[in-house]
Amino acid sequence: MQVRQRHRHRLLLGTLLLVLLAMALLSLSLGAYGLWPWQELDPIGRQILWQLRLPRTLLAMAVGAALAMSGATLQVLLYNPVAEPGLLGISSGAGLCAMVAMTLANAGGWILPAWALALASFVGALLVTALLVGMSRRRRLDTGRLLLFGVAIGILANAAVTWLLYLADDASLRQFMFWLMGSLAFGGGQLFWSLPLLLAGPLMLGLRGRAMQLLLLGEDQARLMGLDVVRERTWLILLVCLLTALAVSLAGVIGFVGLVVPHLLRLAGVTHPRHLLPASALGGALLLLMADLLARTTLTSGELPIGVVTATLGAPLFIALLMRRHAAT
């Protein structure tokens, strides 16, 4: 039975990888300027490929993998099947701190470095995550109450962001709005420093698959089996905050990726964190690449915010999951 299940997991991972490669090739090819593999590229085509399409494709895959793995990890950490950086307010907290940093930089006439934006996002994500974990453990909140608490934090953060938008000048307003709704248009030039971190984070999460499996058994049982629960929880929280902060600083606030991908994989029979994490990375990369392709090619006059696309795809599934859980209880 275990051999058959292992074979199914490998087959699923292989299928996801092949579909992801095909989607990446499609993402490199489609656009206002077609770049098909059988065509010989002119100088303009080469410039578009190497400076625009390839960085954006890599960014979409890296951010999607980071968000999906963050969602899968949070669901283990909080024992909450609907935990996700966007729904729990973590992305909103990261976005708020990033917006504060951008507003202060604009007011002072400074050019905000990319690392400073990522650091501000990390601080916001860490504060919200620490608050959620603390409330979950001290007040022993159930799934529904913890979700409501996270939604309330997100609403407060979004209200503060609205104030910042109201006070922003016209030159900054459009950029702020497009960034808040999610976009991969501005992050491709930051791949040099961000891609190593976006790759290292999922790798370190993947190495903690056994620890996450023990945490699913409960903290007491995990301690009996030799796991340093406090240390592992701290590492997992820091990694989730790092990945969420990087995703927000590079692509803005993008929701539902961390919710949709792990749930679809669990429906496909992938439940062990050791298998769920790499599958979530591939599935998240594939989902965000598809969403970015739709955002770029749906309108001829411009592009849709990618956060709008993921919300359109993810919100109906989230409602269906809540209805299914309600029917089960």
Is 11 inside a domain boundary? Answer: no
| Total count of domains within the chain | 1
**DSSP states along 140-165:** ---HHHHHHHHHHHHHHHHHHHHHHH
Report how far residue 182's alpha carbon sits from residue 292's, in angstroms, rounded to the nearest whole number: 10
Q: Identify the CATH number of the domain in which residue 113 sits.
A: 1.10.3470.10
Is 9 inside a domain boundary? Answer: no
Is 193 inside a domain boundary? Answer: yes
Other C-beta atoms lying within 10 Å of the C-beta of residue 224? 11
Structural domain for 130, as ranges: 20-328
Is 182 inside a domain boundary? Answer: yes
Is 153 inside a domain boundary? Answer: yes
CB 281 within 8 A of CB 63: no
Is 3 inside a domain boundary? Answer: no
pLDDT in tens, the chain (329 residues): 466 777 787 888 889 999 999 999 998 888 777 677 777 777 877 888 788 888 889 989 999 999 999 999 888 887 777 778 877 788 888 888 888 888 888 777 777 777 788 888 888 888 888 887 777 666 666 656 777 888 888 899 889 988 888 887 776 777 677 677 887 876 666 666 677 877 787 788 878 888 888 888 877 888 888 888 878 887 888 888 888 888 888 888 888 898 889 988 888 888 888 888 899 999 999 999 999 998 888 877 778 888 888 888 877 877 777 677 666 65
CB 307 within 8 A of CB 315: no
Is 256 inside a domain boundary? Answer: yes
Report how far residue 271's alpha carbon sits from residue 262's, in angstroms, rounded to the nearest whole number: 9
Is 314 inside a domain boundary? Answer: yes
Name every residue whose Cβ is closer than 8 Å to that of residue 24 and which is 6 or more positions away in sequence.
Answer: 57, 61, 289
